[in-house]
Structure 1
Amino acid sequence: MTGADLPDTPRLWENIAHFARALRVAGLPAGPGQVVRAVEAVQAAGFTERADFYYTLQACFTNRPEHRAVFAQAFRLYWRDPRFLEHMMSLLLPAMRGVAEEHHARPGERRAAQALLEGVERRPPDMPPPPEVREIEASRTWSARERLKTLDFEQMTGEEQARALRMLKTLRLPVPPVLGRRTVPQLAGRLPDWRTTARASLRQGGEIRRFACRDRCRRPLDLVVLCDISGSMSSYARMVLHFVHAVASRPGPGWGKVQAFTFGTRLTNITRQMHARDADAALAAAGAEARDWDGGTRIASAIREFNRKWSRRVLAGGAVVVLITDGLDRDLPDILSREVERLRLSCRHLVWINPLLRWEGFAPKARGIKAILPHVDSFRPGHNLRAIEDLAHAIGQPRDAGVHARMMTLL
C-alpha cells in the first residue's frame, strides 16, 4: 500500500466496495452513499500513507464511537494481513488445542471475521480420527440462551450482540421499597398520634375513646448510574448503556428516579437522553452529548465534579449508586480515594461493577483499583449477561458484597 499515484485500474474501487459490504454485514451503516464518498475521499487524500488511508475510510464509514472497534479489526484483516482468510477461518472453525498457541479474538474481531467470510465455503480442518468414546445424550443440558449469558461482551459476534441486546431490554431490577422518615395515619400503626387523639377527644367532651396511630411510610429507592466510557471500557460501554436504558425506561417495582451519568475525561448527565423510548435513538443522543467517548480516563475528576454539582440533587434521599468502571485512572490515587469515600458517605449503597473481574487471576494491583476498593459496599463483575442479572440480587440484598471481601485480603 505504497506509491504516490493512485492505480489506474478499478481494482481498488472494487475492493473498497467489497470492504463496505463486509462492514454493512458487521452492523455498520455502510451504504452506496458511503462507498461513493469513500472513493472520492481516497482520490482527494491520496494513497501514500497507510495511516491516511485508514483514517480516510474510518471517517467515511463510521459515525458512532462503538463502530470504531469493528472497523479497526475489519480494516486490519482485509487490508493489512496477507493471510487474513486463514486467520478468520481460525476464529470461526474448530481447531486442535495444544498444536499452537491459542488465539483470543480481539474486540470486534469475530464480527469482522463473520462479515468478511459471509458466503465463503468453510471447510473444516483435517483432523486425525477421534478415538472411540461413549456417547452421552447431553443436548438439553446447555441451551443457547444459557451460553449467551456467559459469553463475554467483547467476544460476541454481530448476531450474538443483537440477541444480547434483546435480552437486556427485558431485564428488570426489582427491589423492595424502604422505610421513609415521614409517617402516615394507620389503623394498626406502631407510633401513637397524640395530636389526632386529642383533637378527636374534644368532640367527645374530653373523653378518649380510641387512640390514633401512625406508621412510617414506604418509599421507592432512587438509582444513580455512573458509567465509564473511556477507551479501556469502549467494548462494554454500548452494552452497559443499553442496560441503563432498559432500567431507566422501565425501572421495575421499587425504584423511584433513575439518573444516568457518563464520564471519561469529564462528567456528562445523560438522564434525559436515556428516557427516550427507542434504545438506538437514546444511545445516539447520549453519544452526541458525551463528547469524550473512547478517550482518556479521569475518574477522580469526574467523581469530584459529581460530588460538587450533583450529589445533593440526586442523592438527597439515600439513592443506590452503581459505579461501572475498570478503575484504571490517570488522576492521583489519594484524590480518587477521598472522592469515592465522600460518594459512599452520601449514598445508601455503592456497588462497583468492574469488567476486569472476568479474569480468574485478577488482583487489585492498579493504583486506581486500590483507591476505590476500600470504600465500596459491593464489588462485582460486569462482562456478560449473567453478571448483569446478578446485579439485581446485589442491589436488593445490601449484605451481598460479591467478591469484595476476597479482594480486600489481596490489598
Structure 2
Amino acid sequence: MKLPRAVTVLVDFTQALRAHGFPLAHEQVVMFLGAVRLLGPKSIESIRHAAHATLAPPADRHAEFEALFHAFFFEVAAVASAAKSLPEEDAAVKDKGEQRREPPEIEGANRSGKAATAQEILGIRQFDAGPDDQAVGRLEKEGPGALPRRLGFRKIPDKKGDALDLRRSMRRVVEHDGDVIRLMRGKRKSLQRPIVLLIDISGSMKAHTADYLRYAHALTQMADKVESFAFGTRLTRITRALKHRDPARALESAAAIVDDWDGGTRIGPALSAFMADPRYASLLRGAVVLVLSDGLERGDPKPMREAVARIRRRAWYLAWLTPLAADPRFRPETRALKDILKFLDQLGNGGSLSSLVDHTLRIGSPS
C-alpha cells in the first residue's frame, strides 16, 4: 500500500536518523506519526516537538539530531555537513562491495582506560577464535547446573508434584465422560534465567574484546537463552552472530556486524538507547544482566546513572565486570562508577576469560 506523501516524508526522516546511528524501534516511529497527527501539525515546530518527544535522541546527540532535522526538512547543506559523526577525510567507509579495511588509528587515543574518549571511529575487526581453553571447558561443564534458575508458570506432570494440575485433571474427566479416574498432579518447571550481556567494545577495552566475545559465544552455546549487545559509540545486537556453533565463524560474523570497534566511549547514551527500545528492555525482566566494561564514562554521568537504575528495576541480578578490578588495589574513581554502585549486585573482575567464568558460576543458586 502506498503511503500518503506527507507520511512518507516523516518515515524517510526516521530512516535518515537510523542511517546516522540513532536506534529507533518500530513502535517509536508509529508514536512519532501519531504525535504529528495529534499536533496538527500547525508548523514545523510541531514536527520538531513530536520528534523529540517520541524518538528520544540521547542527550549528548541533541545537536546532531537538530542538525539532521534541519538538513532533512530545510535542505540546508551547511547544516547537513555538521550532522556527520566525523569529517569526511577521517570517516571509515564500510560498504558490502568493498574489501575489509582496518579501523583508522588515532595517535595517543585509547591506549588505556585513562584514554577513554567519546570520539566515534567506524571500522571492523578480525578475531582469532583461539583454542578452547580450560575456562571455556569449565563453563560448558559446570554452567548448566550452576546458572541461576526460576520456576516457570506452567506445570509439568509429576506424580509427586506439590499441587493439583487442574487443567490436565479436567481434560481426563472430559475424556472419560465425566468420571473422575485420577486427579493429576504437577509441579512448576525449573527454567534457567535469561542472560543479557552488554559488551563494551570501545578503544579502551581493545585488549579484552576478543575474550569477551569468546565468553559470550561459549555462554550462548551453553545456556538456554542469551542476548548479547556490543556498544561503543552506538549499540549493536550480536545475538544471532554468536549462535553459530563454530567459534571462528561466530566471531567473524560479529566483527562484520559491528561498525564502531575500538572507537570512543559513550556508555550512558548506549545504555539509554538499549532501554529506549521496548524489544530490548523487555529482555531484562527477571534476567541476569552482565555489563562488561571499564565504566570509564568521560561525559555527563547522569545518562549512565539513570540507565543503570532502570536496568536494575527490571533485572533479577546486575553485575558490572571491569578489567580494572583485576588489580586488588582497584577502587572506583570516576563519578559515573561511584554513582551506579548502589544499583549493582556486584562490581567484579572482568580482566580475563577465566575471571568471567568464575563470576558466572557463582552468580546464585536456584530461586
Where on the TM-score scale, by shorter chain, does this alignment land: which range? 0.5 to 0.7
Residue by residue, what CA displacement relative to the aligned partner does 1:176-231 show, whole Å, maximum 9, x if unpaired? 54211222333222122446556656888977664432321222322211100111
Change (3 A) 1:204 1:232: closer
Change (3 A) 1:320 1:64: farther
Residue by residue, what CA displacement relative to the aligned partner does 1:255-308 show, whole Å, maximum 9, x if unpaired? 322211100011011112212233333323322322111111111111111112
Larger Rg: 1
CA distance in 2, matches of 1:246, 1:205: 52
List structure 1 segments (4+ residues) > 6 angstroms apart after TM superposition.
201-207
Query: Does the CA-based 8 Å contact 2:148-2:363 persist in structure 1?
Result: no
SS of the residue 1:236 aligns to: helix
Query: Does the CA-based 8 Å contact 1:180-1:219 persist in structure 2?
Result: yes
Aligned to 1:333: 301
CA distance in 2, matches of 1:230, 1:327: 11
Change (3 A) 1:279 1:63: farther
Q: What's the % identity of the aligned pairs?
A: 35
Query: Does the CA-based 8 Å contact 2:302-2:336 persist in structure 1?
Result: no
CA distance in 2, matches of 1:188, 1:162: 47
Query: Does the CA-based 8 Å contact 1:301-1:331 persist in structure 2?
Result: no
Change (3 A) 1:335 1:312: closer
Look up the equivalent residue of 2:224 and give its one-letter code.
G
Superposition deviation, residue 167 in structure 1: 3.9
Higher RCO (CA < 8 A, seq sep 6+): 2
Change (3 A) 1:201 1:262: closer
Aligned to 1:289: 257
Query: Does the CA-based 8 Å contact 1:168-1:242 persist in structure 2?
Result: no
CA RMSD for the aligned pairs?
3.4
Superposed counterparts of 1:245-324, under 5 Å: 245-248=217-220, 250-251=221-222, 255-309=223-277, 310-316=279-285, 318-324=286-292
Aligned residues: 245
CA distance in 2, matches of 1:319, 1:354: 20
Q: Is 1:350 matched with 2:318?
A: yes
Change (3 A) 1:233 1:299: same
Residue by residue, what CA displacement relative to the aligned partner does 1:62-94 show, whole Å, maximum 9, x if unpaired? 9556x979xx99xxxxxxxxxxxxxxxxxxxxx
CA distance in 2, matches of 1:259, 1:393: 18
- Which of 334, 344, 347 in structure 2 is aligned with 1:366? 334
- Which of 161, 171, 184 in structure 2 is aligned with 1:212? 184
Look up the equivalent residue of 2:210 and give its one-letter code.
R
Query: Does the CA-based 8 Å contact 2:150-2:366 persist in structure 1?
Result: no
CA distance in 2, matches of 1:197, 1:269: 44
- Which of 177, 197, 210 in structure 2 is aligned with 1:238? 210
Change (3 A) 1:197 1:398: closer
SS of the residue 2:362 aligns to: helix
CA distance in 1, matches of 2:294, 2:288: 19
Change (3 A) 1:264 1:195: closer
Look up the equivalent residue of 1:382 and give its one-letter code.
G
Superposition deviation, residue 381 in structure 1: 0.3
SS of the residue 1:362 aligns to: coil
CA distance in 2, matches of 1:391, 1:64: 33
Superposition deviation, residue 388 in structure 1: 2.2
List gaps (5 residues or longer) in structure 2: 1-99, 113-127
CA distance in 1, matches of 2:170, 2:260: 62
SS of the residue 2:264 aligns to: coil
Change (3 A) 1:200 1:295: closer
Superposition deviation, residue 169 in structure 1: 4.5
List gaps (5 residues or longer) in structure 1: 1-61, 74-105, 108-158, 400-411
Aligned to 1:388: 356
Superposition deviation, residue 339 in structure 1: 0.9
Superposition deviation, residue 379 in structure 1: 2.0
SS of the residue 1:372 aligns to: helix
CA distance in 2, matches of 1:226, 1:194: 41
CA distance in 2, matches of 1:338, 1:354: 19
Residue by residue, what CA displacement relative to the aligned partner does 1:129-170 show, whole Å, maximum 9, x if unpaired? xxxxxxxxxxxxxxxxxxxxxxxxxxxxxx9x956x644553
SS of the residue 2:194 aligns to: strand
Superposed counterparts of 1:66-215, under 5 Å: 166-170=133-137, 171-172=139-140, 173-174=143-144, 175=147, 177-194=149-166, 197=169, 210-215=182-187
Residue by residue, what CA displacement relative to the aligned partner does 1:12-45 show, whole Å, maximum 9, x if unpaired? xxxxxxxxxxxxxxxxxxxxxxxxxxxxxxxxxx
- Which of 190, 210, 224 in structure 1 is aligned with 2:196? 224
SS of the residue 2:206 aligns to: helix
CA distance in 2, matches of 1:204, 1:169: 53
Change (3 A) 1:211 1:364: same
SS of the residue 1:335 aligns to: helix
Change (3 A) 1:212 1:296: same
